[in-house]
Structure 1
């Protein structure tokens, strides 16, 4: 490609309201796989210095695996630069740490990184046995939500919004069960997730400071209420232990600040991964009736189908790293301190790795998508997310003979979360088991 004006913009959050910009990503993969992107002032957020957009699968995996060169610690993991005063606070979160000290400028060194220790502690809470025990609960919940939604559809002429009636509640209620949050407090988790995830969307009320300016919803002041709640819940779990993740965390060797950050991470990431992926998978099925029939007939395995649906609709669109040293990526000179942003949705459609990447193939195997990341920060809750998605899709298959779109989906305005705000569908009544 030529000068910067020839490079397709994949930064503007408003682009994603129309869906993943596959044409732009294809142009970047083919002609500028590591391309300079501008960060103009958009939606009230200040301009930034720009970043490198990484769009090919091999380069995305390289960045995600090489934490020594591409640091999560130096500038955290969001495209926009955090307020320097907030960085020490943000770095308490495992997501914004490196597995071992990266080569950092002396001025930015904050002491040893605890990523490995923290990941091991939390891994103990996400035991396969504990997660599998939630399968029956998740199935019962999916069945109940779908029955209520389909009954409402019958009363409304056959149309139903699966986001409003099923997937939002399904993701949130499963998470609160896993964490051990009382039913009366579930609304708090929903509100906190909305505040953090939907901050770019004009339909959502902005988080403003006293002067009316937008503020980072991940700043210490904005998270104080959530952190206070986390400590109260942890104290309750120590006094009344149960078989849930918060009991495990509250009785571990985590410091108070570490526990608070884990509660934030699990509340937001744990909820929104499934909340974004579930309607995205159902949308893909509604848009591809042939593949939907293959799944409904049992021609393809549900486990394989779940991964293909995750490939075409990754819950997270992008993640940022910061170059810890001068390097070269796909022939481009990256300087120490440069922002490097990987685009999962582009990597998942790279023709160099996925034959016919824009064809939904529920039997695709192998399927090395990066929807849960790669390297040291690969998603800890991936198994839990896959389980929830598998159970939900199985129950949709049991509840109806198929889905068709009743109107266009409404998408979140975000360059971070691949969210769907509304998914209007029509369902076909079950016709009984196949002959």
Structure 2
């Protein structure tokens, strides 16, 4: 229980007999997912208070509750009445209060029933049938990019992020959205600015406000260019409709602000899911050559292998909710207004759910990972992501050697996205 605190200030959590490890600092994720810290939290502090200090010019925050067990993560993600996406949006850092109404326009930062209305609208555009119709194009792109990586290899090695996976994710998404080829580089630029803002190497120099502090990359001031483009593209699609997602959104009767936020969400989340998961899967396989041999030999269904690769390398590390009322989670009292942050990678390694979670078992079943979330906000593009990841694995095992590191990988400095920014692999030699 909390100790008493004067003047209505937040009381400090009770002293812990086992120190609570920090899982907030974005820099520690550049060294890899902190599985030992997660395990300690699951075992001893499943709902643990985390400090939120200043980082690289970003101001300190009030702190939050870290939720690390699978059952508790699922409970938070499913219970939108107790744990709201709307109250404080879904990033750990608090947005500027002036930006919050703007951020609430996207369905990611809404609760039912408003969330459901927007989700139904975009679901009509993002149908499995439309996604599946792109399978042949996705496969041809995988073959072309893999062949190009081999052709441009130096000493038999290539950075597959730069030569394969970044373009693979980006071009597949722009095909589905119906974005002209000449404009596709814009999407990558916007994604890097929004996703990589914690990483001094991956992100451009942040724009700063009058006080010298960085502007939030999701603020209206920094998204104006993207929104203007979305309006122009929607107008073009109304005049020149096609069989693509943007045509469907442009003719769905959305308010202009809703269409802009859908474009933002699909552009950034739709791109970065595969942009993170694809190299993460190859890195995992490079560390488990025996598992890869089984996959290459056809002993494991690729669809099942993809689920296990998603389990060990979820694209998203964390998502935030805000307690709508005083409540309790895993015995820990939580006050209304507290930030509650679920950690997907920890839930995916919970020994209470997954036998030998540290082992890459490509045949694992059942595999109830939460890499695409759960509850009303489960990832809308999961079907498209799975298609791309499956095809890439199928084409890799046909054309490429077993994944083998040719140098150290580099991970994104982020406590939000589980990104790989460099992945040098051997790409010469026979397939399989």
State the TM bucket, normalised to the shorter chain. Answer: over 0.9
Other-structure match for 1:240 = 240
Counterpart in 1 of 2:347?
347
CA distance in 2, matches of 1:288, 1:431: 17
Shift in CA distance, 5/232, structure 1 to aligned 2, threshold 3 Å = farther
**Corresponding residue number in structure 2 for 1:56:** 69
From 37, 40, 49, the counterpart of 2:53 = 40
Measured after TM superposition, the shift of residue 403 of structure 1 is 1.5
Q: Which residue of 1 aligns with 2:426?
A: 426
In 1, Cα distance between the equivalents of 2:104 and 2:321? 13
Partners of 1:19 and 1:305 in 2: CA distance: 21
Cα offset, 1:429, TM superposition:
2.4
Q: In the alignment, what sits opposite 1:104? A: none
1:15 to 10, 28, 43: 28
* Alignment length (residue pairs): 417
Q: Judge conservation of contact 1:403–1:428 (CA < 8 Å) in 2.
A: no
Query: Contact 1:402 / 1:428 at 8 angstroms: preserved in 2?
Result: no
The structural deviation recorded for 1:428 is 5.2
In the alignment, does 2:384 pair up with 1:384? yes
- Tell me whether 1:407 sits opposite 2:420 in the alignment: no
Question: Taking structure 2 as the reference length, what is the TM-score of the superposition?
Answer: 0.95
Q: CA separation in 2, counterparts of 1:383 and 1:13?
A: 29
Partner of 2:264, secondary structure, is helix
- Matched position secondary structure for 2:404: strand
The counterpart of 1:164, out of the listed 162, 165, 174, is 162
Kindly indicate whether residue 259 of structure 2 is the aligned counterpart of residue 259 of structure 1. yes
CA distance in 2, matches of 1:292, 1:173: 27
1:8-58: CA deviation from partner (whole Å, max 9, x where unpaired): 000000010001000100000000000000000011110000000000000
In the alignment, the residues of structure 2 paired with residue 206 and residue 317 of structure 1 have an alpha-carbon distance, to the nearest angstrom, of 24
Query: What SS does the aligned partner of 2:427 have?
Result: strand
Task: Report the equivalent of 1:25.
Answer: 38
The answer to whether residue 88 in structure 2 is matched with residue 71 in structure 1 is no
Q: Is the 8 A contact 1:38 1:51 kept in 2?
A: yes
- For residues 347-404 of structure 1, give each alpha carbon's deviation from its aligned partner in whole angstroms, at most 9, with x where no partner exists: 0000000000000000000000000000000000000000000011111111123121
Q: Name the CA shift for 1:228/1:431 in 2 (closer, same or farther; >3 Å).
A: closer
Give the CA RMSD over aligned residues: 1.2
**What is the CA–CA distance in structure 1 between the aligned matches of 2:81 and 2:380, rounded to whole Å?**
20
Runs of 4+ in 1 over 6 A off after TM superposition: none
Name the SS of the counterpart of 1:46 in structure 2: coil
With normalisation by structure 1, the TM-score equals: 0.94
Q: Which moved more, 1:348-357 or 1:5-14?
A: 5-14
Output one character per residue of 1:107-165: Cα deviation in whole Å (capped at 9) or x when no partner.
xxxxxxx2111000000011111101111001000100000101112xx1111110000
- Seen in structure 2, the aligned counterparts of structure 1 residues 428 and 295 have a Cα distance that, compared at 3 Å, is farther
The offset of 1:5, in angstroms, is: 8.7
CA distance in 1, matches of 2:182, 2:264: 19
Instruction: Pick the aligned partner of 2:192 from 183, 191, 194.
Output: 194
Q: 1:329 matched to which residue of 2?
A: 329
Compute the displacement of 1:2 (Å).
Answer: 4.1
- In structure 2, C-alpha distance between the alignment counterparts of 1:129 and 1:97, rounded to whole Å: 27
How far residue 312 of structure 1 moved from its aligned partner, in angstroms, is 0.1
The answer as to whether partners of 2:157 and 2:428 remain within 8 angstroms in 1 is: no
Q: 2:65–2:340: 8 Å Cα contact kept in structure 1?
A: yes
Which ranges of structure 2 fall in alignment gaps of 5 or more residues? 1-13
1:214 corresponds in structure 2 to 214
User: Which residue does 1:128 correspond to in 2?
Assistant: 128
Task: Quote the offset at 1:206 in angstroms.
Answer: 3.0
SS of match in other structure, 2:277: helix
Provide the residue aligned with 1:144 in structure 2: 144
Residue 174, structure 1, aligned to residue 187, structure 2: no
Contact (CA 8 Å) 1:296, 1:401: kept in 2 or not? no
Quote the Cα distance in structure 2 between the aligned partners of 1:165 and 1:408: 16
**Aligned twin of 1:105:** none
Alignment of 1:1-12 (within 5 A): 2-3=15-16, 6-12=19-25
Which runs of no fewer than 5 residues in structure 1 stay unpaired?
A: 101-113
> Per-residue displacement from partner, 1:300-335 (whole Å, max 9, x unpaired)?
000000000000000000000000001010000000
Matches of 1:399 and 1:342, distance apart in 2: 38
Counterpart in the other structure of 2:396: 396
Alpha-carbon distance in structure 2 between the residues aligned to 1:402 and 1:43: 39
CA contact (8 A) 1:37 1:52 kept: yes
Give the structure 2 partner of residue 280 of structure 1: 280
Cα distance between partner residues in 2 of 1:32 and 1:5: 9
**What is the CA-CA distance between 1:407 and the residue it aligns to?**
1.5
The match for 1:305 is 305
